[in-house]
Each structure stands twice: as structure tokens, then as C-alpha cells.
Amino acid sequence: MKVKKRVIIYSLLAIIIIVSLLSFTAGNTPPEREITYRKFVEDVKAGKIDRVYLEDRDKLRGIYKNGDVFITDNPRKPSLKEELLLQGVKVEEKNGSFTAENILSFVLLIGLFVGIIYFLDRKSSRQTQNSMAKLSSVNVDDNSTVEVDFSSVAGNEEAKESVKELVDFIKNPKKYTKYGARLPRGIIFHGPPGTGKTLMAKALAGEAQVPFYAVSGSDFVQVYVGLGAGRIRDLFKKARQSGKCVIFIDEIDALGKKRSGGIDGGNDERDQTLNALLSEMSGFDENEGIVVIAATNRLDVLDDALLRPGRFDRHIEIGLPDVNGRLQILKLHSKNKPLDATVDLKELAEQTVFFSGAMLENLLNEAAILAAKRGSGTIKKSDIDKAFYTVVAGSEKKDRSSLIEKDKYITAYHEAGHALATRLLAPENRVTKVTIIPSTKGAGGFSMNIPPDRMYHSKRDMEKQIKICLAGRAAEELVFGRDGITTGASNDLEKATQIIVSLVKRFGMNNKAGMLNYDILYGSSEGIGDDIIIECRKQMEELYNSTKKVLKENLSLLHAIAQSLLEKETLDEQQLNEIIFAKAV
Ligand code: ADP
């Protein structure tokens, strides 16, 4: 846009110059008439000529008293001037087209253009200066009046406790420095995305009632070397001016990743930026009340230089919420939402294992949107169920008619197989939800089981896991026959293969393969030897057959669950347990 404007201005200028020069020459030199020297002498004698210019060696130019301009040969006679003067003709020894006024106006015109060009040039250089200044200054999210406090953060009690300590450090730094305590300058919040790291940093600023400056690590990694470092200095300058504050750098890994040290020599710009950050951090006094918080999803990728004492030496983990945390977050975010009495948040918290705080918030928000669209006054359980799939696996397919009945039937048995196998083979695992509603991401159904947390996994556990994976295919075979099996099991087979390969190759749990780590023997890139493949296949077949046997023995249960799934599409833990219990008695 700016470039276009300049092109237009310069073209206009060029046109003005050309036009004015043309009119200048055209206006000041009327057309010349060539006359013979004899005619010239006659006209001089006749007193018709006003003036003659003697500038050219070959030609004489002059003006008649009537204003006409003439040109004739110059006789180069030394006495010509005197003769002309004696005849009353004015004689000038320079070119007629450059009279004093002409020169003056020409000079003025040139002066005007020079002035305009100078003005434009200054303006554009000022613009460049401004844009350079803008580039090297960072766009901080300066939230001086933070209204978030610790009551806005639910769950994550341990992290909250650690952060609470910092409030006092910021408020009364002198209290600690008097005892010689070194206050933390840099803190790293690490954990998966959406777990509330930004929220926690904001709450810290809110509680301490200091300004909050939020930037992202990627803002500092620029194409031009040195620009990122400039931005860091600019950020700290701004922060210092405000006195006590919390600086939050999201995605610190963008600039603080471990230096590769490879042949490429690393990234100059990133190194400079990182060094600028470190020197700024060691530059401020410990009792200034400035705290820098950096957030990352992965602590292990950060450069050691960042983590040394006096830099980012405090690390606080902000992990995914547990069931209690999820319940607290759900409660917090449903405060301003009209939930129907049928909605049980506790149950929802149990069904949302591995959900982050952001996902939970999103879940309630999507449900609220669905309820608002329906206009029924409250958010129903069905709204939350629908929102669940939007959040987990893209949005629920709207056009249910497109679901061929047969597909629905297959999915029901497939998912019932997984659910039943889990309940029968691994009752310690919980099945919180089984469904046959497909999502746009293509997952046929959805069943979730929660294995209890363990440090070690036994061979039995791993085999159970494989069996649960294979149970979908086994159920299909039992109900639809050997040739009726479908592609629906592809993800399951992938997972089962992963487990069995590591069981045989890495954990020494197969008698034939023995207690050798085949990755070390062959290198993981070497692939798998034929003997290992044969062992894996054999073991997988045994596990599959045993899964099929268990399901066959409980075929009536499989039918009951599948039938119920066809009716209700989604079963929660309680409904599933009811079916199993009803059949058992
Ligand atoms: P992160 O910085 O870890 O990616 P955010 O702080 O940006 O996550 O979280 C995004 C949103 O998710 C928050 O604004 C908040 O609405 C919600 N949220 C996440 N964790 C929590 C929590 N523990 N308590 C309440 N809300 C949360």
C-alpha cells in the first residue's frame, strides 16, 4: 500500500516536471524565423529590429520590435556590435531564451522540486526508522490490572502452593533479603498445553497486585540477527519502568532449546536472544520484585544454560488434573452456566480422564452453545455428551442418516467386544464410556478405560492390554464370521503390535526369544529379524484365540451390550455395569 502511494507521488512529480519544463521552453521561445543576412541588414536599417543576441559563433538571433524572433547567419564582423548600436539596436551577448526572469523562475522551480523531494525523503526515512523501532520492540501483553487470582485456578493444589510462596517474595522482597535469602528470579512452569500455566502466572500477578507482561518465546526468534535480543532488552526496560512485576514468557523452548552443537554451528539469532535474556536476568536486583516465569511443554529440551542457579532455577510442574482436579475445574467453569439437574459433574469428571483444564472449559462451553442453539433454558446431559465428541475427536457427524445401519451394527459389536473384554479380563480397569457415535476424525467408536497407575507393568498386564485391543476384532469374527471381519480393527492391531513387539524384543518376556534386548543386538533401525516376527505372530494368535474364547463364553453379554449400544448409542460406566450385573444374576 505504502509502495503504491510512493510510486504514484513520484510519477506525478515527473509529469509535473516535464509539463512545466515544456511550458517553460514553449512559453519563452516563440518560433524562430530564418531570414537572409541581407534582409537582416535591411530590417536594421528600417529600424524594425529591437535587439540582437551575439552569443552564437554561427548564428545571430534577435527579436523584431513586433516580438517576432528571427535567426540569420553570423558574419563574424568585429564591428557588427558597434554598427548595430549605432542603428539603435540593442545588443546582448548571451542567449535570448535565458533572460533574468526566466532564470529566476527556473531556479525557483528547481528549488521547489528539490524541496519536495527532500521532504518526501525525510518522511520516508522517518517511516523506516519508525518501522525499525517497531520491529525491535516487543508487543507485550501488558495487563496492568490483572483481575485473575488464585480462586480462578482450580485443582493443581501442589503447584498452587509453590506459586503462593512467590506472592510474598514479590510483595516484600526485603523481608527475605534481610536474612540473606536469594529470591527466585526465574521460574519455569512445565506441563502439557492447556493445563493453566498462563492462568497461574496471571493469578500470581493478580494476587501480588503487580503488572503482568506476557510475551511468547516465538516473538523473539526473528529473521534478522540481533532483533530478538533488542526485543528482550526492550521488554525488560518496560518491566523495570513499572517496578515490581511478573514477566511471563510462553513457549520458552522457541528460544531456549538445547544448542545442537552440530556442524551447522547452531542458530546465531537464537543464541544472541538467549544470551540477552540471561544477561538481563542477571542484571536486575534480587530485591526489585521482578519475577520472570517461563512456560514450556517439555523441560527436557531446554538448554542447560537457562536452568542454572540464578536463572530459571525453580521448576514447577503443572500437570493434567486428576479426577478431583477435574471436578473442581468443572465446578468453577459451570458456575455461570444453567446446568440441568440431570448433569452429574462428578460422573463427567470421571469420564474425562486425560482432559486438560482448557479441554474441560471448552467442553462446558461447547455444551452451552448447543443448549443455547436449542433454546431450552438449561444445559442437558445430552448437550454435554455431544460436546464431548467435539472436544475429543472433532465434531459429531451431523447427518446421522448417512450412517449405514450395517456399519452401526458392526461398530456396536466391535465396541461391545472391547468393553466386555475389559470388564472380564481386567476388572481393575474402568470403562467410563462406550459409544458408537462416529466423529469427523474418523474414529468408529470410542471406549475409554483407565488402567490404574503403576510403575511397572507385568507380563500379564501387557497381555491383557493386547487382548483388550484384539477383542473388537474377536467380537466381529464371532458374530459376523471369519469373512465378516472389518477394517475397523486397524488401530487396535497397531497398538497390539507395538505392545507385543516390545514385550518380545525389549522386555525378554518371550521364552523362545529369550532375555535379550534385540534393539541393542541389531540396532532399532535394523528392523526385526524373521525369528522375532514368527514369535510375535505366534504369541498374538494365542492371545487372540484366548480372547475369542472368553467372549464366546459370554456371548449373551456381548449381544446385550451391543443391543444396548444400538439403542442408546452411548453407555456410561453405570449403564454398562447394570447390563453385566443383570445378566450375571
Ligand atoms: P497453558 O498456558 O498451560 O497452555 P492456559 O493457562 O492458557 O493453559 O489455559 C487455558 C484456559 O483453560 C484457561 O484460561 C482456563 O479457562 C482453563 N484452565 C486451564 N487450567 C485450569 C485450571 N486449573 N483451573 C481453571 N481453569 C483452567
Angle between helix 381-393 and 357-374 (nearest 10)? 130
Distance of CA 273 from the midpoint of ligand 1 (Å): 28
Confidence of residue 361 (pLDDT cuts 50, 70, 90): very high
pLDDT of residue 416: 94
Quickly tell me which residue has 444400538 as its cell: 566
- Which residue owns the Cα nearest ligand 1 atom 18? 357
Q: Which of 272, 267, 318 has the alpha carbon at shortest distance from 293? A: 318
What is the distance of C-alpha 52 from the center of its chain? 80
Q: What is the amino acid identity at position 414?
A: H
Q: pLDDT for 43-83, tens place per residue?
A: 988 888 898 888 777 888 888 888 888 888 888 888 888 88
Quickly tell me which residue has 494476587 as its cell: 207
Confidence of residue 123 (pLDDT cuts 50, 70, 90): low
Quickly tell me which residue has 535469602 as its cell: 181
SS (H, E, C) 370-413: HHHHHCCCCECHHHHHHHHHHHHHCCECCCHHHCCHHHHHHHHH
User: Is 347 a known active-site residue?
Assistant: no
156 touches 254 (CB < 8 A): no
Name the pairing type of β-strands 59-64 and 49-53: antiparallel
Distance of CA 152 from the midpoint of ligand 1 (Å): 9
Q: What is the dihedral of CA 350, 351, 354, 358, to 10 degrees?
A: -100
How far apart, in whole angstroms, are the C-alpha atoms of residue 501 and residue 31? 101
Catalytic member of 207, 251, 280, 415: 415
For residue 318, which phi and psi values (nearest 5 degrees)? -120, 95
| CA dihedral (431, 435, 436, 441) positive or negative | negative
The average pLDDT across 312-336 equals: 87
Distance of CA 443 from the midpoint of ligand 1 (Å): 27
Supply the pTM of this predicted model: 0.55
pLDDT of residue 264: 47
Distance of CA 393 from the midpoint of ligand 1 (Å): 20
More confident position, 266 or 504: 504
Name which of 37-41, 106-110, 377-381 the model is least confident about. Answer: 106-110
Cα Rg for the chain, rounded, in angstroms? 43
Question: Which triple of cell numbers denotes residue 405?
Answer: 445401519
How far apart, in whole angstroms, are the C-alpha atoms of residue 30 and residue 161? 95
For residue 521, which phi and psi values (nearest 5 degrees)? -65, -50
pLDDT of residue 284: 73
Name which of 42-51, 340-349, 418-427, 445-454 the model is least confident about. Answer: 445-454
Give the helix/strand (H/E) hosting 417. Answer: helix 405-425
pLDDT of residue 538: 92
Question: Which triple of cell numbers denotes residue 293?
Answer: 516465569
Neighbours of 449 (CB within 10 A): 19
Distance of CA 360 from the midpoint of ligand 1 (Å): 9
Confidence of residue 579 (pLDDT cuts 50, 70, 90): very high
Confidence of residue 554 (pLDDT cuts 50, 70, 90): very high
- Which residue owns the Cα nearest ligand 1 atom 17? 358
Query: Of all atoms in ligand 1, which is nearest to the CA of residue 200?
Result: 6
Q: What is the amino acid identity at position 106?
A: F
The average pLDDT across 229-234 equals: 86
Question: Which triple of cell numbers denotes residue 531?
Answer: 525369528
More confident position, 393 or 133: 393
206 touches 146 (CB < 8 A): yes
The average pLDDT across 491-506 equals: 89
pLDDT of residue 397: 47
3-state SS, residue 494: helix
Name which of 202-206, 240-244, 378-382 the model is least confident about. Answer: 240-244
pLDDT of residue 218: 83
Give the list of residues 6+ apart from residue 238 with CB closer than 8 angstroms, or none: 140, 142, 213
3-state SS, residue 179: coil
pLDDT of residue 156: 80
Give the list of residues 6+ apart from residue 116 with CB closer than 8 angstroms, or none: 13
The pLDDT of residue 209 is above 70: yes
Q: Which of 230, 360, 242, 326 has the alpha carbon at shortest distance from 291? A: 242
How far apart, in whole angstroms, are the C-alpha atoms of residue 368 and residue 364? 6
- Which residue owns the Cα nearest ligand 1 atom 9? 196
247 touches 295 (CB < 8 A): no
Q: pLDDT for 84-104, tens place per residue?
A: 888 888 888 765 454 555 666
3-state SS, residue 1: coil
Query: Of all atoms in ligand 1, which is nearest to the CA of residue 155?
Result: 23
Angle at 166 between CA 164 and CA 167, to 5 degrees: 70
Supply the DSSP symbol for 150: G
More confident position, 541 or 67: 541
C-alpha distances in Å from residue 196, one per residue of 308, 320, 325, 332, 518: 25, 9, 12, 13, 41
Query: Of all atoms in ligand 1, which is nearest to the CA of residue 332?
Result: 25
Neighbours of 200 (CB within 10 A): 25
More confident position, 60 or 482: 482
Distance of CA 265 from the midpoint of ligand 1 (Å): 38
Percentage of the chain surpassing pLDDT 70?
77
Query: Taking the chain, what is the end-to-end CA distance rounded to the nearest angstrom?
Result: 79
Q: How many residues does the chain have?
A: 585
C-alpha distances in Å from residue 585, one per residue of 408, 425, 517: 29, 19, 48
Pocket of ligand 1 (CB under 6 A): 153-156, 193-199, 295, 329, 332, 357-358, 361
Distance of CA 169 from the midpoint of ligand 1 (Å): 24
DSSP letter for each residue of 423-438? HHH-TTSEEEEEE---
- Which residue owns the Cα nearest ligand 1 atom 6? 196
pLDDT of residue 497: 92
Which residue out of 199, 333, 365 has the highest number of ligand 1 atoms within 8 Å of its CB and is therefore the one to mutate? 199
The pLDDT of residue 561 is above 90: yes
Neighbours of 241 (CB within 10 A): 9
Angle between helix 555-568 and 459-480 (nearest 10)? 80
Q: Which of 570, 584, 580 has the alpha carbon at shortest distance from 347? A: 570
181 touches 166 (CB < 8 A): no
Name which of 101-105, 275-279, 486-490 the model is least confident about. Answer: 101-105
Percentage of the chain surpassing pLDDT 90?
24
Which residue out of 146, 152, 195, 249 has the highest number of ligand 1 atoms within 8 Å of its CB and is therefore the one to mutate? 195
The pLDDT of residue 442 is above 50: no
The most confident of the ranges 121-130, 280-289, 432-441 is: 280-289
Which residue out of 146, 336, 361 has the highest number of ligand 1 atoms within 8 Å of its CB and is therefore the one to mutate? 361
Domains delineated in the chain: 2-100 (3.30.720.210), 141-317 (3.40.50.300), 323-393 (1.10.8.60), 405-584 (1.20.58.760)
Q: What is the dihedral of CA 232, 235, 240, 242, to 10 degrees?
A: -170
More confident position, 279 or 93: 279
- Which residue owns the Cα nearest ligand 1 atom 4? 194
Q: How does the average pLDDT of the chain come out, rounded?
A: 80
- Which residue owns the Cα nearest ligand 1 atom 27? 357
How far apart, in whole angstroms, are the C-alpha atoms of residue 541 and residue 45? 132
Query: Of all atoms in ligand 1, which is nearest to the CA of residue 193?
Result: 4
